[in-house]
Structures are given as structure tokens and as C-alpha cells.
């Protein structure tokens, strides 16, 4: 899904929710066995049955509030990198990227926080949390970010205090990720292993922290790059 975001940015210079959802759906149809979350599988099924994506996103869990999962935050860092010179644009585009799959305010807040952190990394901001807290809307995700900013702990202790994605929610994932990215922003390798040591939803937390720290660190091992799946295009 992050590849779809990058593709849209490259081809259109910005994100249109209708276009982005169709890109997500096209990649899913081409290869549905890539570990999509159950919510996304259900979403694509509902739209395939004729429901509009706007309705399906709101009604995904039957209560009209939509998903507050961590998936929108997991794919959004390229938005922050692309629009890094304009924080207002970062926020607007992050919201558009999130609402194609996550209608709940917390799911959107997580995407905004990660996108702003990515932009701050590109800009070389000394304090990643400052711009993030200034622009993340009130709620549980932002409350967790406030705690993360002040927390002095080991990665394992931070994961226990902030959550490490075990609940697969924005509020249980994004604060720990930004804690890791803030403290280990100079080393991709150190950040990766520190994030991993928090356990929890490790593919998501490492994807989020890696997507931020890769924008400021320069120690990504050649061996890791050589074993990476080739990027499309």
C-alpha cells in the first residue's frame, strides 16, 4: 500500500482519495496474498460487491465509526517526505491518504503524526515531537505522544508503557514508534533492533520507525538492501 502512495505522488503530485483507493484495490486484486489485515480484506470485498468505498470504510465494523487501526500510519511516511517543506500540506495529504481506509479520528491522527514526523526528519528538526504534537488532533493517539515525549526508559519499558501495537490500533502503536524514531534517528540499524525489542506488532512498528529514520540516517546496510524485495517501477 505504501508503494501505491508513492506511485500516486509520482504520477499526480498529490493524493486524491478516489484515485488512491483504486490503486490500493488494483494492487490487492493483483496479489491478495501479501498479508493484508482482515479489515482491509473485508473492505475490498465490500467494495467488490458494489458498496462505495466511502460507505464501506465507515461501516467496516458495523458501528459507523470506521477503523482506528495502525495501517494508515504504517504506509504514510512517503507523504511527509514528499511535502516536507509545507507542514499544512503534509497534514492535509496525510488525512486524505488515511480516510481511504480509516474513517475513525484515531486512525487518521496516527497517519498525521507519522507523516509530520517524516517531514520533520527530512527538515532536520532537532525535536521530532514538537511539530508532531502541534499538528496531531486531540485524542488517545495524541495523549500517548505526550507521554512518549517525556518518557525516559529502555525500549522494552517504553513498549510496556506506551503499547507496541499488540492491539493493532493507532493509539497503541504510534506513540512507541515515534519514541523509537526520536531516540534512534541517527541510526537505522539501532532503531530497527530497538523497535523490534519492544515485541508487539513488529512488522508494523518496524515499518513505521524505519520509514521515518531512513530519511535522516545513512547507515542502512548494503546487505539489507541487497536482500530487499525490488521496488516497483
Domain ranges of the chain: 2-213
Q: For residues 43 and 122, is the Cβ–Cβ distance under 8 A?
A: no
The dihedral built from the CA positions of residue 80, 86, 87 and 91, taken in this order, carries a sign that is negative
- Residue ranges in the chain whose pLDDT is less than 50: none
pLDDT digits (tens, 9 = 90+) for 81-99: 999 999 999 999 999 999 9
Residue 186 has phi, psi (to 5 degrees) of: -90, -10
pTM: 0.96
pLDDT digits (tens, 9 = 90+) for 118-155: 999 999 999 999 999 999 999 999 999 999 999 999 99
CATH fold of the domain at 2-213: ADP-ribosylglycohydrolase fold (1.10.4080)
Residue 169 has phi, psi (to 5 degrees) of: -115, 160
**Is residue 12 exposed (0-12), middle (13-18) or buried (19+ Cβ within 10 Å)?**
exposed
Give me the pLDDT at residue 66, please.
Answer: 87
CA gap 228, 168 in Å, rounded = 25
Give me the pLDDT at residue 59, please.
Answer: 86
Amino acid at each position: 500500500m505504501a508503494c501505491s502512495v508513492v506511485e500516486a505522488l509520482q504520477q499526480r503530485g498529490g493524493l486524491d482519495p478516489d484515485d488512491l483507493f483504486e490503486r490500493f484495490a488494483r494492487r490487492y486484486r493483483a496479489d491478495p496474498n501479501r498479508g493484508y489485515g482482515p479489515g482491509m480484506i473485508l473492505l475490498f470485498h465490500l467494495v467488490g460487491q458494489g458498496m462505495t468505498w466511502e460507505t464501506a470504510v465507515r461501516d467496516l465494523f458495523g458501528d459507523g465509526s470506521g477503523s482506528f487501526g495502525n495501517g494508515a500510519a504504517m504506509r504514510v511516511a512517503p507523504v511527509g517526505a514528499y511535502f516536507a517543506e509545507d507542514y499544512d500540506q503534509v497534514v492535509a495529504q496525510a488525512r486524505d491518504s488515511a480516510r481511504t481506509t480509516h474513517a475513525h479520528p484515531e486512525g487518521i491522527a496516527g497517519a498525521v503524526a507519522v507523516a509530520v514526523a517524516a517531514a520533520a526528519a527530512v527538515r532536520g528538526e532537532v525535536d521530532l515531537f514538537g511539530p508532531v504534537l502541534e499538528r496531531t488532533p486531540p485524542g488517545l493517539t495524541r495523549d500517548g505522544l505526550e507521554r512518549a515525549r517525556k518518557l525516559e526508559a529502555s525500549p522494552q519499558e517504553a513498549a510496556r508503557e506506551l503499547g507496541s501495537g499488540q492491539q493493532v490500533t493507532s493509539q497503541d502503536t504510534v506513540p512507541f514508534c515515534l519514541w523509537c524514531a526520536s531516540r534512534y534517528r541517527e541510526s537505522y540499524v539501532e532503531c530497527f533492533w530497538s523497535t523490534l525489542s519492544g515485541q508487539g506488532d513488529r512488522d508494523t512498528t518496524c515499518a513505521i520507525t524505519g520509514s521515518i529514520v531512513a530519511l535522516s540516517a545513512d547507515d542502512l546496510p548494503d546487505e539489507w538492501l541487497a536482500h530487499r524485495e525490488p521496488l516497483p517501477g
